[in-house]
Amino acid sequence: AQTVTQSQPEMSVQEAETVTLSCTYDTSESDYYLFWYKQPPSRQMILVIRQEAYKQQNATENRFSVNFQKAAKSFSLKISDSQLGDAAMYFCAYRSQGAQKLVFGQGTRLTINP
């Protein structure tokens, strides 16, 4: 079974600085999808960014980008120019090509210091 590990339970960063959240996963599959979800205090799950494993180019969405290292099974999230609104729990998630379910990591709580 696939597993997702987020080794940083908590992270903090100064406003306007850059922060990187780590995620590793374990799978024997070659085709899959990876996601980062944000969960603010409202508890709503919001998709931040996604990466298809077959794509070598790292995904980017505005201030959010990923560093996808397929061989190392690593999928980190970089947030540039951190803003107060970025404060949230961030979950890394895996989905295999065939299955539809998401497998989540334990989450990283990100605090933004003004």
Can you give the binding site for another protein, defined by CB under 8 A? 33, 37, 42-47, 50, 52, 91, 95, 99-107
Give the nearest distance from C-beta 86 to another protein in angstroms.
Answer: 18
Nearer to another protein, 52 or 73 (CB): 52
Beta carbons within 8 Å of 34's beta carbon, 6+ residues apart? 23, 25, 50, 51, 53, 66, 68, 75, 92, 93, 94, 95
Give the nearest distance from C-beta 73 to another protein in angstroms.
Answer: 19
Beta carbons within 8 Å of 110's beta carbon, 6+ residues apart? 10, 11, 12, 13, 19, 21, 79, 86, 87, 88, 89, 90
Q: Are 26 and 12 in contact (CB under 8 A)?
A: no
Nearer to another protein, 13 or 102 (CB): 102
Give the nearest distance from C-beta 16 to another protein in angstroms.
Answer: 29
Give the nearest distance from C-beta 24 to another protein in angstroms.
Answer: 16
Nearer to another protein, 53 or 112 (CB): 53
